Amino acid sequence: MSAAPLLECRALTRRFGGLVALDALHLEVRPAEVVGLIGPNGAGKTTAFNVVTGIHPPTAGEVSFEGRSVVGLRPSAVLQRGIARTFQNIRLFRGMTALENALVGRHARLRTGPLGAILRSRRVVEEERAAVDFAMELLRFTGIERHALARADSLSYGDQRRAEIARALASEPRLLLLDEPAAGMNPREKGVLNELILAIRDRGVTVLLIEHDMRVVMGISDRVVVLDHGQKIAEGPPDAVRRDPRVLEAYLGSAHA
């Protein structure tokens, strides 16, 4: 537990007008961990993702990744640094194939410029070939290889979630942010997803995971962080968090605490 944090948020605050979506959040994610981020609706979980990935600038506070600040970077630059994400409401490039989606995810790791694309030298073709191999390997890893050339919007719901994960992994991130990956999945698919997330961690990718499904979060997280009204109300191993009175109160109301 003493390893230097991979991601560190210090006093991270984000306001939307009068609404405080994130209130002085402290969050640490250490390498090779799976951290679950939970909390009732509107607790600020997705906002935390959006601030970390550069979609919203923080109102105050600091985000550092591998010891360097990522505040003020464009989302594409944050991805370049090694943080990739998926979206709560699936946002694949619908008209493109699953393979092309993964290749777009690889964009930041490819070098070909306009001139190279036109001249298409041997180096460029090699790069494309390697990119396709890598993308295909990820589609195999996430279990949708046979749909590689199907349009993204023709995939089943669960496969679309997997395609999003493949697309995010294509940039070879060191931290993967998953926003409700199990939403809309049936129990069998959730089981497969659990395995997949653990396999992602075994590839050396740290995972920060927003999830409502307690069996998923509690089953695979090394540590769980609970948000409510933009504040961290609890943190610790799944079993301890599950019994924490403040967590029960946030979820069920004070009568149950």
Partner 1 sequence: MRSFASAPLLGLWFAFLALPFAGWRGALWTGLACAALVAAARTLGRVLRAEPVARRLAMAQEAIGESWEFMLRGTRDWRVAALVLLGLVAFPWVLDRYKTDVLVVAGIYVMLSLGLNVVVGFAGLLDLGYVAFYAVGAYSYALLSTWYGLSFWPGLLGGAALAAVFGILLGIPVLRLRGDYLAIVTLGFGEIIRIVLNNWDDVTRGPNGILGIGRPHLGDFRFSQPMHFFYLVLALCLITMFIVGRLNRSRIGRAWAAMREDESAAECMGVNLVHAKLLAFAFGASWAGLGGVVFAAKQTFVSPESFAFFESVIILCMVVLGGMGSVPGVVLGALILVALPEALRELTLFRPMILGGAMVLMMVMRPRGFLRERGLRLAEGALPPGVPREEGR
Would you tell me which residues interact with partner 1 (CB under 8 A)? 53, 55, 74-77, 79-80, 84-85, 87, 91-97, 99-100, 103-105, 107-110, 112-114, 116-118, 120, 124-125, 128-129, 131-133, 136, 145-151, 154, 167-168, 171
Angle at alpha carbon of residue 93, lines to 87 and 99, rounded to 5°: 105
* Residue closer to partner 1 (CB basis): 21 or 144: 144
> Shortest approach of partner 1 to residue 164 CB, angstroms?
9
Q: Tokens 């993964």, residue?
A: 102
Backbone angles phi, psi at 8, to 5 degrees: -140, 120
> Shortest approach of partner 1 to residue 88 CB, angstroms?
12
3-state secondary structure of 117: helix
* Residue closer to partner 1 (CB basis): 86 or 221: 86
Burial letters 11-29, b for 16+ CB under 10 A, else e = ebbbeeeeebbbbebebbb
> Shortest approach of partner 1 to residue 24 CB, angstroms?
25
* Residue closer to partner 1 (CB basis): 99 or 209: 99
* Residue closer to partner 1 (CB basis): 105 or 228: 105
Beta bridge partners of 220: none
Q: Tokens 């073709």, residue?
A: 125
* Residue closer to partner 1 (CB basis): 146 or 215: 146
- Give the integer Cα–Cα distance in Å for 30 and 200: 15
> Shortest approach of partner 1 to residue 154 CB, angstroms?
6
> Shortest approach of partner 1 to residue 61 CB, angstroms?
21
The DSSP secondary-structure symbol of 97 reads B
- Give the integer Cα–Cα distance in Å for 241 and 239: 5
Distances (CA, A) of 139 to 102, 104, 116, 181: 8, 13, 27, 16
> Shortest approach of partner 1 to residue 151 CB, angstroms?
6
* Residue closer to partner 1 (CB basis): 33 or 100: 100
